[in-house]
Amino acid sequence: MYTHVIFDLDGTLLNTIDDLADAGNHICRAHGWPVHTVDEFKHMVGNGIPKLVERFAPAGTDGETLAQVLAEFSAWYDAHKEDKTAPYPGIPELLAALKGQGVRLAVLSNKAHALAGPVVEHYFPGIFDAVQGALPDAPVKPDPTLLCALMERLGAKPETTLFVGDSDVDVLTGKNGGLAVAGVLWGFRDRRELEGAGADHVIGKPEQMLALMEE
């Protein structure tokens, strides 16, 4: 039985892709670069905002320009991160049910920590025991460094903690931390990617997670 559940944020709890794509394409247009479809952005996200910027910028963009664009993107996205973003259907109900069962809940995201905390509190006030975003001096997922630190803060044990995410990055993060992982199909990636990365479970609806809690 799981006593703790750690969720990815983008593509798992919140559908953030339209705001991310809008911000990225705003920057692309400002620099005269080609824009990208939302589906293309779904395969660019997951490894943190610096990597996202590197991926939507034209190949060969120099480091100084990437650093400038990162600052521009971060400022624009921070101002527009709630324009279209919303919880996936069934997520608020799932979180309420888990909370009612006494499960401790946390978020681990590759979104910058300064953005992740306010976003989570805006959409899910009072629900999560801890939120950890990306830090400048720590490796991002799938490295387990921040996961392990988060679990220590929560007093969570690997054998009773479930990691939940929508991408291979999330599956590998959980596995690198010694956790069971549930991959979700309502996010940005597909079953092939999740199973290929080694997900223990793949679920198509949030309510299906409740059955996993007893395993």
User: Which CATH number belongs to the domain containing residue 115 in this structure?
Assistant: 3.40.50.1000
Domain endpoint, select from 80, 97, 116: 80
If asked whether residues 51 and 124 sit together in one domain, one would say no
pLDDT digits (tens, 9 = 90+) for 72-95: 999 999 999 999 999 999 999 999
Domain endpoint, select from 80, 105, 120: 80
Gap between the Cα atoms of 207 and 95, Å rounded: 10
Tokens of 44: 């660019």
If asked whether residues 26 and 49 sit together in one domain, one would say yes
Position 214 scores a pLDDT of 77
Total tally of structural domains belonging to the chain: 2
Domain endpoint, select from 60, 80, 100: 80
If asked whether residues 63 and 139 sit together in one domain, one would say no
Q: What is the mean pLDDT of each run of 10 residues along the chain (215 residues)?
A: 97 97 98 98 95 97 97 95 96 98 97 92 97 96 98 98 98 98 97 98 97 84
Among 149, 142, 139, 209, CA closest to 176: 142
Q: Is 196 exposed, middle or buried (0-12, 13-18, 19+ CB in 10 A)?
A: exposed
Position 117 scores a pLDDT of 94
Which amino acids are annotated catalytic? 8
Gap between the Cα atoms of 121 and 44, Å rounded: 25
Position 152 scores a pLDDT of 98
If asked whether residues 198 and 93 sit together in one domain, one would say yes
Show the domain range for 75: 17-80
Q: What percentage of the chain has pLDDT greater than the value 70?
A: 100
Give yes or no for a contact between 203 and 176, defined as CB atoms under 8 angstroms apart.
no
If asked whether residues 90 and 70 sit together in one domain, one would say no
